Structure 1
Amino acid sequence: MEQDEHYHYAVIRRAIECIDAAGGQALTLDRLAAEMNMSPAHFQRLFSRWVGVSPKRYQQYLTLDHARSLMRARFTTLETADALGLSGTGRLHDLFLRWEAMTPGEYARRGAGLTVCYGVLPSQFGEALAMVTDKGLCGLAFTEETGRDAALADMMARWPEAEFLHAPDRASALAATALSRHGMTRLHLIGPPFQIKVWEALMAIPQGHVTTYSEIARAVGHPRAVRAVGTAVGRNPIGYLIPCHRALRKSGALGGYHWGLPVKRAMLAWEAARADAIPCEQTHRQYRAHTPSQPAPARTIF
């Protein structure tokens, strides 16, 4: 991930603040560029290169009611067999992922015997904190809103008995591959069985689309456990790759986001803009998943 991506997100974050401060009034290219302390031409080039659409168009994706627009236009219903069997057609997935889940017994040991390497890297959504085990990426946090130290303490507290090593080259290399959407990325899901089911359901939501907490609850076979699903979504340790930002409240409100609502809004806007800008055939990707603790054949989503 190039350093420019981090810079671009800093501009996006400032743009969100300016758009919100305008109280619903559309800002012209000249006005928005001036707020960013950039020339209109440079601002236009930066945004077009980052997301593939013009600043004027992107501004529409950052409005406060964009989530409700997504609910109307790109709402995804997650059927139980589709979410848990991980099969289906017409998906617009942006990543090729293979994941392995920690067994309940391993999780009960609170990370004892586990070595986790960590490091930070720039991303299209600001600085990211990556954490990896020998089985794959187990954590991805975004630090722009929370701060690096708080994000690191948060992630370490999830597996308190693990050994943590600062190994930025190893951790950031795997995360950079995942964020750049090139090649297969291995994930190591560390959590209790119910949370892992919820995280699997999240990975069935196509890029540029959204669903609700209640739909996820139905998908995992517990339609009344909406509150528990919300908690599981919030405990997702692998930000963006397990797309908890695509889960909204039934009303269309954004709901919370563990790494800050500005980051969630930027993610949703970035994905929606790219889905509109890039032809569907160029965004089709294949997902494969295999969990050794569940002896089933390899599962693929198209």
Structure 2
Amino acid sequence: MTLQTSLDDDAAWQAVLARDRHFDGRFVTGVLSTGIYCRPSCPARHPARANVRFFVDGAAARAAGLRACRRCLPDDVARDERAVLDAIAAIRGSDEPLALAALATQSGYSPAHFQRLFTRNTGLSPAAYARALRSERAHTALSAADRVTDAVYDAGYSGPSRFYAAMKGRTGMEPSVWRRGGEGMTIHWAVMPCSLGDLLVAVTAKGVCRLSFNETAADLAKRFPNATLHAATAGTSDMFNRALAGVEAPATAAQVPIDVRGTAFQELVWKALSAIPPGETRSYAQIAASIGRPKAVRAVGSACGANQVAVLIPCHRAMRTDGTLGGYAYGLDIKSALLDKERKA
């Protein structure tokens, strides 16, 4: 039984040549000359293409007479994924922080190995994932509660001091202001010409909060109705120049500070997008698998759509499983041009 998914043999071989971990679990590589099968990311020397066949899983490879590679242990992929998903479920179901040792014991791995495994699959350590989840709950609680104090305990914090310490760096404003939709924020903005059209950049004291193509100050006002908006001044020009450079030279985009807010899931997706090397792409399904939520393919697409800072969070690197561009808020011409720019760079 050879590969029977939407991924064709040529794409599978390219994944093997790249040792792309995102394809682990989607198929295994059978090497007929040695009689073994491997993960796509196996670090062993690449076999000759003529000696390779692809199988949907280890069972299919074993049925063809092959045995598992002892170096990359391809049959452990399902166990790794299950361990991460079980840990996520445990974190989401607990009202108290769970120790790394407890999560590792549940998985059967050592704490150090489990920490690396969880981080590789989700982009966050277990502790950071738990903090992001609690922040998501705080966001919901602040929107529903009449008082910030009520939201503190509803979100699972032990007291106001812990809540304010955790939220200060993430929100860029006091939690009570956040609950009122950003009232009191000061945002400087500018519209600048770039190689892809007019570029709208809006910044707070923390970083870029909006970067978009072919939008105006009126569009910005609709997104931040309770903020105070000012046209850019000399004192803020450096941030705008850095944002423009991030669009024209994608390798510098990750160095631009941003001030965006999302749910725990959205931030997992955004972190996974930022981990994709410039010029490369991943399917929505691959991104969902990389954050430990393989069934959340549509939700990954929604998280891409919620991105407020184009290019700085590179949602243009997300594609459909069939390899087509999919959607993009600013049009497929700009998405294609961004990818071409990255590949040439």
- TM bucket normalised to smaller: 0.5 to 0.7
Sort the Cα spacing of 1:269 and 1:121 in 2 relative to 1 into closer, same or farther, 3 A.
Answer: same
Deviations 1:245-294, CA, capped at 9 Å, x for gaps: 000001111011111111001011111122xxxxxxxxxxxxxxxxxxxx
Partner residue in 1 for 2:124: 85
* Cα deviation, residue 161, structure 1: 2.2
Q: 163, 167, 176: which one pairs with 2:241?
A: 176
The reply to whether residue 116 of structure 1 matches residue 187 of structure 2 is: yes
Corresponding position: 1:258 with 2:329: yes
**Which residue, 232, 252, 261 being the options, matches 1:167?**
232
Tell me the secondary structure at the aligned position of residue 303 of structure 2. Answer: helix
Give the corresponding residue for 1:157: 222
* Structure 2 partner of 1:246: 317
Higher strand share: 1
Query: What is the deviation of 1:112?
Result: 2.1
Q: Is 1:209 aligned with 2:276?
A: no
The reply to whether residue 135 of structure 1 matches residue 232 of structure 2 is: no
Distance 1:173 1:233 in 2: 27
Which has the higher relative contact order, 1 or 2, with Cα contacts under 8 A spaced 6 or more apart?
Answer: 1
Q: Distance in 2 between matches of 1:169 and 1:248?
A: 39
Once residues 243 and 191 of structure 2 are traced to their aligned partners in structure 1, the CA distance between those partners, rounded to angstroms, is: 14
Q: What SS is found at the alignment partner of 2:119? A: helix
Q: Distance in 1 between matches of 2:272 and 2:254?
A: 22
Secondary structure in 1 aligned to 2:258?
strand
SS of aligned partner of 2:344: helix
- Tell me whether 1:271 sits opposite 2:333 in the alignment: no
1:172, 1:76 → 2: CA distance?
A: 40
1-structure distance, mates of 2:290, 2:22:
9
Residue by residue, what CA displacement relative to the aligned partner does 1:209-237 show, whole Å, maximum 9, x if unpaired? 11011122223332222111111101211
Question: Would you say 1:228 and 2:266 are equivalent positions?
Answer: no
For the structure 1 residues 176 and 165, does the alpha-carbon distance in structure 2 shift closer, same or farther, using more than 3 Å as the test? Answer: same
Amino acid corresponding to residue 171 of structure 2 in structure 1: M
- Structure 2 distance, partners of 1:183, 1:204, is 10
Q: Which has the larger radius of gyration?
A: 2
Same amino acid, percent of matched pairs: 37
Secondary structure at 2:259 match in 1? strand
* Paired residues of 2:307 and 2:313 also in contact (CA < 8 A): yes
Alpha-carbon distance between aligned partners in 2 of 1:108 and 1:214, rounded to the nearest angstrom: 33
| Aligned residues of 2:124 and 2:268 also touching (Cα < 8 A) | no
Letter in 1 for 2:232: A
Q: Deviations over 1:2-54 (max 9, x none)?
A: xxxxxxxxxxxxxxxxxxxxxxxxxxxxxxxxxxxxxxxxxxxxxxxxxxxxx
Partner SS state of residue 309, structure 2: coil
CA shift for structure 1 position 197: 2.1
Instruction: Determine the C-alpha separation between the residues in 2 that align with 1:80 and 1:158.
Output: 35
Pair 1:221–1:156, CA change in 2 (3 A): farther
| 1:125 shift after superposition | 2.2
Report the Cα distance in structure 2 between the residues aligned to 1:84 and 1:183, rounded to whole angstroms: 15
**For 1:77, what is the secondary structure of its paired residue?**
helix
* Other-structure match for 1:5: none
Q: Which segments of 5 or more consecutive residues in structure 2 lack a partner in the other structure? A: 1-9, 24-116, 126-168, 246-251
Q: Normalized against structure 2, the TM-score is what? A: 0.47
* Displacement after TM superposition at 1:154 (Å): 4.3
CA distance in 2, matches of 1:175, 1:191: 23
CA distance in 2, matches of 1:223, 1:215: 8
Q: Distance in 2 between matches of 1:135 and 1:76?
A: 34
Residues 122, 128 of structure 1: 8 Å contact kept: yes
Q: Is the 8 A contact 1:118 1:171 kept in 2?
A: no
Give a deviation string over 1:102-147, Cα, whole Å, max 9, x none: 389565442222211111112232221001001111111011xxxx
What amino acid maps onto 1:126 in structure 2? G
Return the letter of the residue paired with 2:124: G
Conservation of the 8 A alpha-carbon contact between 2:207 and 2:257: yes
**Distance in 1 between the 2:179 and 2:264 partners?**
11
Alignment TM-score, normalising by the size of structure 1: 0.53
Q: Structure 1: how far apart are the matches of 2:335 and 2:341?
A: 10
* In structure 1, distance between residues paired with 2:236 and 2:196: 17
